[in-house]
Structure 1
Amino acid sequence: MGRALNVTALFAGIGGFELGLHRAGHKTSLFCENDPEAAAVLAVRFPKVKIVPDVRDIDELLESISPRSNLLTAGFPCTDFSQAGRTQGFAGTQSVLVRDTLRLLERRRFDHVLLENVPNWRKLHGGQYLEEVIGELERLGYHWAYRTVDAQAFGLPQRRLRLFLYASKVDDPRAVLFHGNVPETDIRRPLTECAHGFYWTEGTRGLGWGEDCVPTLKGGSTISIPSPPAILMPDGRIVTPDIRDAERLQGFAAGWTDVEESRKASDGLPFRHRRRWTQIGNAVNVEVSTWIGRRIAQSRETPSVPEAPLIRGEPWSEAAWGDGRRRWRVNISHWPVVRKPKPLSGFLKYPPALLSERATAGFYKRISASSLRFPDGFKEAVAKHLARMEAQPLRKVSFPRKRGPIPLQAAEAAE
């Protein structure tokens, strides 16, 4: 199995980072998470791990961190970086919280640091926010590497690109992130040949289109509602996946966020099941974090990768590394491995819901007025689905909820 690190997890969410690291043999000794529903999930799935609420309270964190902890993780909020968000950068109130991670590192050095965020982190406002974080890691004496990784490479039918930044005081981080360089596939297929994912909440500026996959699961939408993607099935139906399949698309077991009905969230209020979509969309993908955890546990050999000097002030490349003195851009794919996925239509294990007449009508109105180019036959397929829904008798649609918890084994490393 290799070496096992002791993890302190900031911005822990529902534990995607940590569950993957546990599967690779590492152990978590502390969570920091202030979202009440996410903290309730952590309390159920990792019952022996302490949770503290506020990443800004450095003194409480320092009192709670195990002396043996040597890996700090932080999947910090993407709200102010994401192209679908506010793009305020550190002028916003959420993504800027990564500065508290850096303040903690100033006072308590970890041998290893692992950060995650959206790819727009390296591009927004000239890349100044990635520059700030990397510059501070260099000042603190870390070598670093980052790579943009797609969850599809791990056999999941979800196109999910995320930037992972690994920094270390004792290892060459290239040995962790730069193994594997598989060419990516981009095969266009007819609408009747496979399922196609898209966002029914969009349609004016984009679709988030996915060939035999769903686009990136999101924590919310521009219309401020839980935002499951839509799927145009080969038979012409437009559906939205069951929330348990959304959990599976993120690498969790079905029911991971379905904590006990009577359990209260960490703020003392009843657990709001509707926010499960938010928690799943915000999570770090478990399969990707498992791969990184195994590389950390086992890797010592630095791979040879195509690289060139990265001059300060130049745009950040999709992968790069630095030793505190110099920086290099790296030419490497988003796919470190390739695992054959099931077709999206076959991956869905639980009955999906038909996209409602109201949702379909709003989406069709937007795409009809849009100047975007759509795949051949797509508008017609949406129109046919709308006609079928209009012809159906009105049915009450309720948010799926299961009485009582789905029995799941708690995270292995919590033992």
Structure 2
Amino acid sequence: MSRSLEVTAIFGGIGGLELGLHRSGHRTTLFCECDREATAVLRRHFEGVPIVSDINCIEEVLGCVSPSSNLLTAGFPCTDLSQAGRTQGFAGGRSSLIRKTIALLEQRRFAHVLIENVPNWRHLHRGEYMSEVLSELERLKYRWAYRTIDALAFGLPQRRRRIFVYATALEGGGDPRDVLFHGNFPAEKSLHGLHEAAHGFYWTEGNRGLGWGEDCVPTLKGGSTISIPSPPAILMPDLSVITPHLQDAERLQGFPAGWTDADSQIQVQGTQQFNQRRRWVLVGNAVNVEVSTWIGERLANLMPYEGDRGTPLIPGDPWPEAAWYDGSTRYAASIGTRPVDRPRQRLANFLHHPGTPLSLRATDGFYRRIDKSRLRLKDGFKDAIKVHLEKMRGAAIVSLPATPKAPESAVLSLSTS
């Protein structure tokens, strides 16, 4: 029998988590989101759902929560946890906002809690921030399970691993493994020649890594190692180098194309339009909709998990890719990142737009970095980047305005002076 949960969404972003839950039969009755552009997107697509702006104002948030809401979602900011961010952990001012969610749970209990963040959450500073959140859930009498899930498993050509924590109240909330632990497929190991498939990489990197993707793009993200939101680059099978169109990025995240085109909604609010760069931030920070839809389906149609309990976790050991807590003991789970195994769409065929050639400046900086680095690069990759660099240099020369010819009178004047 299917069930429908009523969602209170903290850190709603552009609604990637909630869109997937809606597609699975659940409904959102409150968003909490402070970003101006993100709230414009939410108003456009979740019409009529109230939005409060500040999780710090817990009493205001609590006053807007529906009495029948039974699922709290929190895809909290990864700014201080991500390897592409400041890695300050909860000493930073953004990721530590998950503590406000815990404070809200202390005052208003939800039977179900769903939390999402980056894989580095379980590694950073020996896992102390993961420990803090899970320990707080235990203190508040929740069972929990978490699993690292890769969007590649869902057929989208984007490698995107994220940790999902699902917690249930001890008093009749059920086993959280019944939602997260179903399906365990082996990882793909396919390699392609440069002419056989498109390859994604981050042109903002090149010193210690590339974010390399075989027939896929690396994780779309809201920032970069050079502190700007930027799309990845793609080396196409014809060896052209492009950056994908924003609408294709939205589709890589499981959204319909144009999801973040909310300028009209912003104008209604009497504020200025936001630019493409801000839209890249919103898309890069979003929860993948295909993954959240799968979780929503598992929440709606519970099936008992029949796997083993796993191995008891030893205090102080690193956090594994998946684990759970039964109310008294923590266990490591031998379960991978692929709960499903849907046929992957080929990246070159997935793109609906031609993309934009990687600029001369971006290509030049990237080539300089990989030329000096000790990275092991795929055969032919550096040569392909050099060819693209020369092509862009040539295009830049052609596009330079011609030097104006001096008037004949001026030439005569110069020659006789």
The equivalent of 1:304 in structure 2 is 307
Residue 378 of structure 2: aligned partner = 375
- Counterpart residue identity of residue 324, structure 1: G
Matching of residues 126-275 of structure 1 within 5 Å: 126-169=126-169, 170-261=173-264, 263-264=266-267, 268-275=271-278
Q: Partner residue of 1:117? A: 117
Counterpart check, 1:279 vs 2:282: yes
Distance 1:58 1:262 in 2: 27
**Letter of the structure 2 residue corresponding to residue 67 of structure 1:** P
Please give the secondary structure, in 2, of the residue aligned with 1:166.
strand
SS of structure 2 residue aligned to 1:188: coil
CA distance in 1, matches of 2:283, 2:15: 10
Where does structure 1 differ by over 4 angstroms across 4 or more consecutive aligned residues? 393-396
Question: Of residues 338, 341, 345 in structure 1, which corresponds to 2:341?
Answer: 338
Q: What code does the residue aligned with 2:129 have?
A: Y
Partner in structure 2 of residue 401 of structure 1: none
The CA distance in 2 between the partners of 1:142 and 1:264, in whole Å, is 43
Q: Which amino acid aligns with 2:391?
A: R
**Match of 1:365, SS?**
helix
- Report the Cα distance in structure 2 between the residues aligned to 1:112 and 1:178, rounded to whole angstroms: 16
Report the secondary structure of 2:239's partner residue: coil
SS in 1 for 2:263: coil
SS of the aligned residue for 1:207 comes to coil
Aligned partners of 1:79 and 1:204: how far apart in 2? 22
Q: Residue 131 of structure 1 aligns to a residue in which SS?
A: helix
How far the C-alpha of 1:267 sits from its partner, in A, is 8.7
SS at match of 2:266: coil
8 A Cα contact 1:8 1:29, kept in partner: yes
* CA shift digits 1:244-298 (9 cap, x unpaired): 0000000000000011347349694433443000000000000000000000110
- Name 1:413's counterpart in structure 2: none
Indicate the residue corresponding to 1:78 in structure 2: 78
| Equivalent residues of 1:148, 1:161 under 8 A apart | yes
Q: Could you state the TM-score of these two structures normalised by the residue count of structure 1?
A: 0.93
Spell out, residue by residue over 1:98-138, the C-alpha distance to the aligned partner (whole angstroms, 9 max, x if none). 00000000000000000000011111111111111111101
Opposite residue 382 of structure 1, the aligned amino acid is I
Q: Aligned equivalents of 2:167 and 2:269: distance in 1?
A: 32
Contact 2:230 2:277 in 1 (8 A): no
Instruction: Give the Cα–Cα distance (whole angstroms) in 1 for the partners of residues 271 and 233 of structure 2.
Output: 34
Report the Cα distance in structure 2 between the residues aligned to 1:278 and 1:38, rounded to whole angstroms: 10
Residues 35 and 265 of structure 1: CA distance in aligned 2, closer, same or farther (over 3 Å) = farther
Task: Provide closer, same or farther for how the CA distance between residues 49 and 33 of structure 1 changes in structure 2, counting only shifts above 3 A.
Answer: same
Query: C-alpha separation between the residues in 1 aligned to 2:398 and 2:104?
Result: 53
Counterpart Cα distance in 1 of 2:59 and 2:197: 53
Residue 101 (structure 2) pairs with residue 95 (structure 1): no
CA distance 1:91–1:393, change in 2 (3 Å): closer
Kindly indicate whether the alpha-carbon contact (under 8 Å) linking 1:145 and 1:319 is maintained by their aligned counterparts in 2: yes
Q: Is the 8 A contact 1:138 1:323 kept in 2?
A: no
The more displaced of 284-293 and 349-358 is 349-358
Give the aligned partner of residue 22 of structure 2.
Answer: 22
Equivalent position SS for 1:227: coil
> Are the counterparts in 1 of residues 184 and 335 from structure 2 also a CA contact under 8 Å?
yes
Amino acid at match of 1:278: V
C-alpha contact 2:85 2:223 (8 A) present in aligned 1: no
User: Relative to 1, partners in 2 of residues 1:232 and 1:62: Cα closer, same or farther, differing over 3 Å?
Assistant: same
Equivalences for residues 327-406 of structure 1 within 5 A = 327-393=330-396
Contact persistence 1:37–1:265 (CA under 8 A): no
Hey, what's the Cα distance between the residues in 2 that align with 1:267 and 1:165? 38
Q: C-alpha separation between the residues in 1 aligned to 2:312 and 2:78?
A: 28
8 Å CA contact retained: 1:265, 1:271? no
Match of 1:164, SS? Answer: strand
Amino acid at match of 1:182: F
Identical counterparts, % of pairs? 61
In structure 2, give the amino acid aligned to 1:274.
R
Distance in structure 1 (CA, Å) of the matches to 2:364 and 2:284 = 25
For the 8 Å contact 2:44–2:265, the answer to whether it is kept is no
2:67 aligns to what?
A: 67
Aligned residue type for 1:357: L
1:52 equivalent in alignment to 2:55: no
Question: C-alpha displacement at 1:343, in angstroms?
Answer: 0.6
Q: 1:225: Cα distance to partner?
A: 2.6
Give SS of 2:17's match.
Answer: helix
How far does residue 357 in structure 1 lie from its aligned partner after superposition?
Answer: 1.3
- Asked whether the 8 Å contact 1:178–1:303 carries over to 2, the reply is no
Q: Deviation digits for residues 329-358 of structure 1, max 9, x if unmatched?
A: 001110000110211000001121111111
Residue equivalent to 1:291: 294
Structure possessing the higher radius of gyration over alpha carbons: 2
Contact 1:75 1:284 in 2 (8 A): yes
Give distance in 2, aligned partners of 1:29 and 1:319: 30
1:224 positional shift: 2.9
